[in-house]
């Protein structure tokens, strides 16, 4: 049987083929439509957006750091300014291997090995596009050395910046403070946008306390860059719209400091470890604030080396310590006018009544002797004479009658045991002890003998030179009190207008009888007259001075005879010398506290320094020479 043969369906195949062609064509048209729509969206609708992004690939935003405010003294002398300097900077996003780059900079002696870990941490904590300063100030020789190797360091360049400069070097450094490189720790506490492009920040002193005033506001500018991130003038013939926002400089500061008086104070201190604080009692202006030894703040602005910093840190004389604010020491006999004031206020003494001093005092019911600095005593003394001759026995008895609570009350009103509130950081409050304090600190009761020695400025009692200057200023003004201040005005960088800071009054110290102030001042004036403990060094002054000498024991001798044994002690175990004063006594214009660490007698060592400062401020005698110790008058030495 013959099979039937299937005939090919040409028309069917053709229809299928045409259908497929049409389907593919429709699909192609749809795809082209989608592409066209996307191109329309990208090129027409989103043109501005992507044009801006495109420009961002070739336009870099460089920060414009603000100029730091200038600092002037009370006479308009510049004491902190900005000078051009060459910095070595690194941009993280342009550096392939940061650790290796830092090590190569060490190899060519532009960095120290000790600096690398801190710089590496700083770079990691910073934004990748932000330039990081590696060295704040390069010498010409270092600039030339880097130029030879610059081709090896992509992302590292030398930039011209303004760096802080202190024309007087180490003078007034403990008041001014200094600026230093921004650290990774600083980055945790600042607004990075405000510090974009800035390499320095205030570390201590005025530079730190007034950082927000001095720093200013950063700006920016857009620049065209090539594929390597290098700045170019243009890309082809295309015009690119660039933006610039100018930086706003920080405000300038005017200080109460008088640099002429400041330099006299520092010169007078000589090689002593010590401090001087001089205050205008009528408004709290700090005319001089000196602490020695000192150091050059410019070391820090240039980027201090590890070796140099270690030398400062480990120096046994502690040049980094601001003794004026942070040195808390026994005030010694300088507290005796305050003790007398407490006695008058609480009615336990009559200023004209006399007491017999035979050189030793014992508490009722006790045989333990508390000896006077003068072995055979001062004889019969009234309050004024007790202050003038610094009679210990008189003040032992006064302290015993007053009791520690009333002593604490009066001394606290005069500022002991609390910060004065000066407008720079780092101040210590000292210590005004009380039974409650001792119980909390040592879990012990307060003993009567501890009250006795507080009465002559020893024992647990501690004060800073700033507190002593503030206290004597309160006495000078009969109870008026002003917060000590260094800054008296700001100059607005935008308008040039000078905005003064008004003196800040503190709680006035009022007494039951205003006459008590005059009674105390009478005794302090007697300190500088014949028979007083400061008569010798202050003799010949053309103005009247109210003062009190003080000598605070560091190491207690069993015989308490420092005249015979004190000089045999190691130097750092010898007595501290102190002196407080104001002048003119009848029209106070300056109150001073002088502290000399392990200096000896307050009347022979500290008082002459104060006289030099009074002469400078009141008479314009700017003698910048160390002051020699003055031999005491016979019978008026004061070894406590």
Distances (CA, A) of 146 to 123, 205, 527: 20, 35, 65
- First-residue to last-residue Cα distance in the chain: 148
Cα–Cα–Cα angle for 530, 635, 604, rounded to 5 degrees: 75
The Cα–Cα gap between 93 and 156 comes to 11
List phi, psi (to 5°) of 81. -140, -175
Please say whether the beta carbons of 479 and 508 come within 8 A.
Answer: yes
Which of 369, 417, 368 shows the shortest CA–CA distance to 392?
A: 369
Distances (CA, A) of 59 to 232, 499, 533: 10, 41, 75
Q: Are 45 and 228 in contact (CB under 8 A)?
A: no
Q: Which of 333, 384, 390, 481 is catalytic?
A: 333
Whether residue 333 lies in the annotated active site: yes
Instruction: Return all residues near 402 (Cβ < 8 A) that are at least 6 apart.
Output: 339, 342, 343, 346, 348, 451, 455
620: left (phi over 0), alpha (psi -120 to 50) or beta: left
Rounded Cα distance, 48 and 632, in Å:
87
Task: Give the number of other Cβ atoms within 10 Å of residue 246's Cβ.
Answer: 11
Phi-psi region of 71 (alpha: psi -120 to 50; beta: other; left: phi over 0): beta
Q: What is the DSSP code string of 116-153?
A: HHHHHHHHHTS-TTS-EEEES---HHHHHHHHHHGGG-
Rounded CA-CA distance 88/136 in Å is 7
* DSSP code per residue over 176-213: H-EEEEPPHHHHTTS-TTTTTT--EEEEEHHHHHTHHH
Phi and psi (nearest 5°) for 60? -105, 140
Task: Compute, in degrees rounded to 10, the torsion defined by CA atoms 300, 303, 304, 307.
Answer: 170
Q: Is residue 448 classed exposed, middle or buried when 0-12, 13-18 and 19+ CB atoms within 10 A define those classes? A: middle
- Regarding beta strands 231-232 and 178-181, do their DSSP bridges make them parallel or antiparallel, or are they unpaired? unpaired
Which DSSP symbol is given to 616? I
| Distance, CA of 449 to CA of 366 (rounded, Å) | 10
375 contact partners, CB below 8 Å, separation of at least 6: 359, 561
**DSSP per-residue letters across 362-378:** --TT----EE-SSTT--
Structure tokens that stand for 523 in this block: 């005794």
CA dihedral (529, 378, 393, 331) in degrees, to 10, reads: 30
Cα–Cα distance, 343 to 336 (Å, whole number): 10
Which positions are catalytic? 333
């Amino acid at each position: 049987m013959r099979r039937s043969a299937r005939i090919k369906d040409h028309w069917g195949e053709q229809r299928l083929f045409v259908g497929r062609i049409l389907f593919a064509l429709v699909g192609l048209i749809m795809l082209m439509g989608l592409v066209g729509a996307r191109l329309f969206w990208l090129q027409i609708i989103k043109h501005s957006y992507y044009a801006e992004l495109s420009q961002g690939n070739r336009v870099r935003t460089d920060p414009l750091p603000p100029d730091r405010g200038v600092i002037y003294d009370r006479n308009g002398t510049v004491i902190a300014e900005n000078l051009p300097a060459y910095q070595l900077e690194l941009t993280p996003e342009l550096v392939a291997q940061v650790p290796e780059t830092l090590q190569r900079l060490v190899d060519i002696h532009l960095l120290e090995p000790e600096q690398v870990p801190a710089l590496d941490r700083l770079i990691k904590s910073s934004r990748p596009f932000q330039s990081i300063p590696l060295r704040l100030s390069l010498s010409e020789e270092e600039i030339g050395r880097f130029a030879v190797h610059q081709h090896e360091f992509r992302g590292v360049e030398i930039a011209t910046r303004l760096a802080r400069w202190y024309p007087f070097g180490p003078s007034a450094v403990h008041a001014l403070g200094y600026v230093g490189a921004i650290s990774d720790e600083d980055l945790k506490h600042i607004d990075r946008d405000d510090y974009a492009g800035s390499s320095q920040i205030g570390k201590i002193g005025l530079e730190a306390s007034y950082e927000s005033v001095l720093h200013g506001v950063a700006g920016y500018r857009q620049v065209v860059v090539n594929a390597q991130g290098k700045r170019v003038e243009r890309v082809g013939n295309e015009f690119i719209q660039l933006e610039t926002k100018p930086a706003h400089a920080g405000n300038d500061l005017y200080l109460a400091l008088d640099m002429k008086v400041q330099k006299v104070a520092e010169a007078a201190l000589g090689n002593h470890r010590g401090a001087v604080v001089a205050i205008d009692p009528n408004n709290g202006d700090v005319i001089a604030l000196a602490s020695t030894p000192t150091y050059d703040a410019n070391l820090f602005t240039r980027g201090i080396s590890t070796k140099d910093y270690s030398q400062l840190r480990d120096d046994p004389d502690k040049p980094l310590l601001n003794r004026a604010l942070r040195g808390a020491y026994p005030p010694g006999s300088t507290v005796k006018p305050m003790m007398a004031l407490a006695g008058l206020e609480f009615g336990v003494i009559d200023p004209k009544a006399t007491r017999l001093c035979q050189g030793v005092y014992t508490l009722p019911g006790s045989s333990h002797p508390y000896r006077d600095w003068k072995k055979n005593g001062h004889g019969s003394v009234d309050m004024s004479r007790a202050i003038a001759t610094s009679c210990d026995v008189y003040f032992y008895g006064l302290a015993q009658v007053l009791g520690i609570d009333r002593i604490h009350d009066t001394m606290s009103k005069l500022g002991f045991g609390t910060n004065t509130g000066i407008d720079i950081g780092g101040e210590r409050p000292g210590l005004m002890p009380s039974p409650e304090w001792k119980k909390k600190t040592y879990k012990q009761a307060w003993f009567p003998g501890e009250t006795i020695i507080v009465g002559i400025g020893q024992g647990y009692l501690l004060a800073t030179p700033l507190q002593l200057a503030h206290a004597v200023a309160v006495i000078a003004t009969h109870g008026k009190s002003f917060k000590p201040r260094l800054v008296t005005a700001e100059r607005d960088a935008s308008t040039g207008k000078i905005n003064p800071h008004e003196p800040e009054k503190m709680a006035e110290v009022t007494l039951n009888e205003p006459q008590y102030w005059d009674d105390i001042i009478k005794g302090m004036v007697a300190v500088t007259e014949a028979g007083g403990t400061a008569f010798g060094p202050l003799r010949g002054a053309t103005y009247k001075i109210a003062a009190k000498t003080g000598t605070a024991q560091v190491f207690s001798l069993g015989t308490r005879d420092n005249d015979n044994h004190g000089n045999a002690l190691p130097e750092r175990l010898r007595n501290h010398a102190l002196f407080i004063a104001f002048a003119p006594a009848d029209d106070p214009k300056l109150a001073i506290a002088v502290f000399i660490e392990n200096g000896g007698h307050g009347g022979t060592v500290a008082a002459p320094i104060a006289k030099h400062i009074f002469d400078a401020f009141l008479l314009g005698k700017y003698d910048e020479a160390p002051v020699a110790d003055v031999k005491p008058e016979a019978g008026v030495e004061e070894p406590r």
